[in-house]
Amino acid sequence: MKNRLTVLVIDEDKERAALLEQALRDQGYEVLGRLHSTDLMADKVDVLKPDIIIIDLDSPDRDVLENMALMNQSCPRPVIMFAEQGDQATIEKAIRSGVSAYVVDGLEQHRIKAILDVAIARFREFQAIRSELNHVHGELNQARTELADRNLTEKAKILIMKHNNCTEDKAHQAMRKMAMDQQKPLIEIAKSIISVLELLP
């Protein structure tokens, strides 16, 4: 099992990046590499598979945020962004794009571990929430589909009862027999019955 967390640094300023990388190594992190921009970030993250991404820049522009969002969809990772610009709108856009921690007041070596720990915790919490929402969304879609299928089956049953002057039980048995004979799901039989019987007077 890997003991040291791996980091990918993105910074166009070589001197600033060198200081950051040294500070990370001093804190026990493994620096996998450095990118000058976020242009190929998703591809690089997919190859290197870092545990954490640190982006150090003056201000996150539209391209940076779009690249962030793309990476967050394909291979999400905890992202710490150090930036000069700290207005509320910029921070909100960065967070929506997938940034776990947005730091405005500079990088100090003794704060690195605390900041990275917070970013990882936030990222895991967000991923757990997203996973739960996806699960709930899937269950809702399934429930909607089942309800729609049930409504169509009931509609087909009512049409059979009307056109054959039979009981609900007989109509249901007839539909089940058709499904078995044709080796089709009951819902497909129901749709066929509706499309035919609705045309009849």
Q: What is the mean pLDDT of residues 3-22?
A: 86
Fold (CATH) for 6-107: Rossmann fold (3.40.50)
Angle at CA 38, nearest 5°, toward 33 and 40?
80
- Contact yes or no for 64/55 (Cβ under 8 A): yes
Report strand pairing: 6-10 vs 52-57.
parallel
Q: How confident is the model at residue 1 (pLDDT cuts 50, 70, 90)?
A: very low
Residues 6+ apart with CB under 8 A from 43: none
List, in sequence order, every beta strand (DSSP E) within 16-124.
30-35, 52-57, 79-83, 101-103
Place of tokens 């969809």: 73
| pLDDT number for residue 121 | 84
Fold (CATH) for 139-197: Arc Repressor Mutant, subunit A (1.10.10)
Which tokens is 152 given?
A: 């169509």
Q: Could you tell me the residue ranges of all domains in the chain?
A: 6-107, 139-197
| pLDDT number for residue 107 | 64
Condensed to tens digits (0 to 9), the pLDDT of residues 99-132 reads 888 888 666 666 778 888 888 888 888 778 877 8
For 155-181, give the DSSP string: HHHHHHHHHHT--HHHHHHHHHHHHHH
| pLDDT number for residue 73 | 81
List, in sequence order, every beta strand (DSSP E) within the chain.
6-10, 30-35, 52-57, 79-83, 101-103
Q: How confident is the model at residue 52 (pLDDT cuts 50, 70, 90)?
A: very high
- Contact yes or no for 109/92 (Cβ under 8 A): no
Condensed to tens digits (0 to 9), the pLDDT of residues 134-191 reads 788 888 888 898 899 999 999 999 999 998 999 999 999 999 999 999 999 999 999 9
| pLDDT number for residue 153 | 92
Place of tokens 């610009």: 85
Q: In the predicted model, is pLDDT for residue 76 greater than 60?
A: yes
Tell me how long the chain is: 201
